[in-house]
Amino acid sequence: MLRHAFGALPEAGGWWLMLEYPMLRLGRRPDVILLARDAIFVIEAKVGSTQHSPEDRRQAEDYAIDLHDFHAGCRGNPIVPILLAECAPVAPTTLPLILGHGVAPVQDANAETLPGLLRDLAKMAVGAGPPIDPVRWLDAPYQPVPTIVDAACMLYARHNVAEIRVARTDAANLRATSDAILSELERARTQGHRLILFVTGIPGAGKTLCGLNTIFGSDDAGRGTYLTGNPTLVHVLREALTRDAAAAGDKRGDARRRMESAVQALPKFRDHYVAQPTHVPAEQIIVVDEAQRCWSATWAIAKTRDKPVPLTRSEPSHLLETMARHPGFCAIVCLVGGGQEIHGGEGGLAEWGDALRLAEAEGSVWQVCAPPDLQQVSDPRQKLGPLPRLAINTDLHLTIPLRQIRNGAAAQWVDRVLEGDAAGALATARQAGQIPFRVTRDPNTLRQWLRANARGLRRAGLLASSGAARIRAEGFGTELPHMDASAVARWFLDRFPADVRASDALEVVATEFSCQGLELDYVGLCWDSDFVREPSRNAWRVRQFRGTKWQTPHKDEAIANQINTYRVLLTRARYETIIFVPRGDSGDPTRPPEVYNRIAAFLIECGAEPIDQPILGPDIGSTAPMPLLEPLDCT
């Protein structure tokens, strides 16, 4: 097919052709990349195929988006994905009359129409970008930023964090932190010490990636486990790793048993060893996800009093006692996320400090390594306090946001918004040039925008606070059950339209308990009046829906947890978040329009862009029809 196309295209003599270009992101390889003078064509070929299926179109488009986002040579020229189905009819097609830099819509072709399509596209692309230097293009780095799920699969397949590079050079912080963890572990192993490491960072900075690298991507693979109290993260990582291993030829049952050892629910790990006080853990290293969320002693004792395994200490204290059963080296790596506490009883780092001092008093000696910011926090719940054998390592703090693919200012903007600092948020937005947040008052626009912008295999989904009791009046009443392993795995891993239970069906809403620690490419956040602007003080107010009315909680922990809930929800998107603020109903005392109007007005004042109709993806351009062509004879 290629020989036929180029035989009819003498102007293609100066183009460069690449077959099976390697893309590290899950080892995917587009069939053909063509470097023309002004444009890049990404061709996915389906030999013998008689149709252009939606799934194949998404695959071709996703390759093009991947190159646009992560290949340094693809930023200034148009990228056109082409689905080449050898024997398929080509329906009346629309071609962009003007190609700008970015990803164009997928173009359909068959073996006979490919030469004409390439010729027309090349003419349209003239002057759309600087002339492409193929040698420089080949030397330009391809540096993908994987999702947490992709990263886990890649690390388990024995890539290391050095290979999972990132699209911005300022993310050397991630490599330095990963190296610091492994270096401290090796030093403790050599000296036969017990070691506890604290790794901190802003939301989306790569803490989970560092933790996964510790377990999967180093020589310690098989000697450690990743512990999390977040059941959703357990379900999704296990299922993703199992599917990946099964696709590589492993038996699904064997793969699932391995993943159950590699990624464990913290409560089950804890209870197993509390119930077996003489058993030495098989794991020498445990990584504790969101360690500041571990239960305080008071909460742990009260919550498990009538359980089969009652706790007598805080969760940190039980974990330290369990790992200290090793006679020599063992280690605990605590991943600490600021502002992520969303549940009652989460004791913060103060509980770890108390547990370490208790262990010292009982004769269990731990070397402690932490970043300097843990000694400077003002929140008493997050202070470790004075500790013997405490070493400071500046590389254990992650400051660069990686989750946001195209804009690194999202986390800072969210902080300013939640502080009620509209001027500071707007200044952040202006300094960044653009922030990835939009506001709509219409639920149909919300869904249409998500479907229009989540192109290729990028994933969209709806989120809302667990306290958003009145968004059901807007048609968002179906909530993802975060304790249901199969439902959670389907929502995060399966795709619509093959499965209407998938996130991108935009029918089921996930709460902070379902999405914490995970991410989506595009987020539709449904903002209810559980978090409202108080006009008298021009500040945020937290509310809880009880019975038939909104009530205001007064406990500091409940207020802080609700603010953190919206921090979690606002920092889940890798690309963009569109915030739906209902218009309300003057006839419903639980949904007064003025309450929602103040929320929307404040977000817009902070720099979020208001929209009242779907905004299509980049460089859709004008269109012109092409004629329908008959199927080819593929006999």
Tokens matching residue 591:
């949904």
Residue 373 confidence class, pLDDT cut points 50, 70, 90: confident
The amino acid at residue 443 is: P
What would the pLDDT profile of 378-397 be if each residue is shown by its tens digit? 777 778 888 889 999 999 98
pLDDT value, residue 464: 96
**pLDDT, position 543:** 94
614 DSSP 8-state letter: -
Residue pLDDT, tens place only, 478-511: 899 888 888 998 999 999 989 999 999 999 999 9
For residue 372, count other CB atoms closer than 10 A to its CB: 12
Lowest mean pLDDT among 89-93, 216-220, 566-570: 216-220
3-state secondary structure of 373: helix
Query: Is the pLDDT at 245 greater than 50, yes or no?
Result: yes
Q: Is residue 575 scored above 60 in pLDDT?
A: yes
How far is Cα 326 from Cα 286, in angstroms, rounded to an integer? 13
The secondary structure of 88-106 as a DSSP string is --B-S-EEESS--SEEPPP
The class level of CATH for 2-143 reads: alpha beta
Per-residue tokens: 555 = 């406990």
CA dist 320 and 362 (Å) reads 11
Is there a contact between 522 and 457 (Cβ–Cβ < 8 Å)?
no
Taking only the tens place, the pLDDT of each residue in 616-625 is 444 333 333 3
* Mean pLDDT within 433-459: 93
Encoding tokens for residue 360?
């010292």
Q: What are the tens digits of pLDDT across the range 267-284?
A: 999 999 999 999 999 899
Sorted by sequence, the CB contacts under 8 Å of residue 242 that are 6+ apart come out as 252, 255, 256, 259
CA distances to 296, 297, 343, 359 from 302, in Å: 10, 8, 15, 22
Neighbours of 514 (CB within 10 A): 30
State residue 197's pLDDT score. Answer: 95
Q: What are phi and psi of 420, to 5 degrees?
A: 80, 20
Q: Quick one: DSSP state of residue 608?
A: P
Burial bucket for residue 166 (CB in 10 Å: 0-12, 13-18, 19+):
buried
Instruction: Give which of 581, 574, 586 is closest to 611, Cα–Cα.
Output: 581
Mean of the per-residue pLDDT values for the chain? Answer: 86
pLDDT of residue 86: 94
Q: Token pair of 418, please? A: 């939640």
Residue that the structure tokens 């790794």 belong to: 199
Of residues 372 and 100, more confidently modeled: 372
> What gap in Å lies between CA 418 and CA 564, rounded to an integer?
9
Residues of the chain with CATH 3.40.1350: 2-143
Q: CA angle at residue 626 from 624 to 631, to 5 degrees?
A: 160
Length of the chain, please?
635
Instruction: Tell me the DSSP string of 246-272.
Output: HHTT--HHHHHHHHHHHEEEHHHHHHH
- 334-359, pLDDT tens digit by residue? 998 766 555 556 678 889 999 999 99
pLDDT at 617: 43
From CA 114, how far away is CA 86, in angstroms rounded?
10
CATH classification (class only), 170-230+263-398: alpha beta
Q: How far apart are the first and last CA of the chain?
A: 15
Helix ranges, 454-555 (H): 485-493, 512-515
CA dist 614 → 330, 447, 448, 450, 578 (Å)? 54, 9, 6, 8, 11
Cis amide bond preceding 631, omega within 30: no
Range(s) of the chain covered by CATH 3.40.50: 170-230+263-398
For residue 421, what pLDDT is reported? 95
At residue 564, what is the residue type? N
Tell how strand 544-546 and strand 549-551 pair up. antiparallel
pTM: 0.81
- Beta strands (DSSP E) in 57-208 are 78-85, 94-96, 102-103, 107-109, 194-201
CB count within 10 Å of CB 126 equals: 12
Task: Determine which of 95-104, 140-149, 592-601 has the lowest per-residue pLDDT on average.
Answer: 95-104
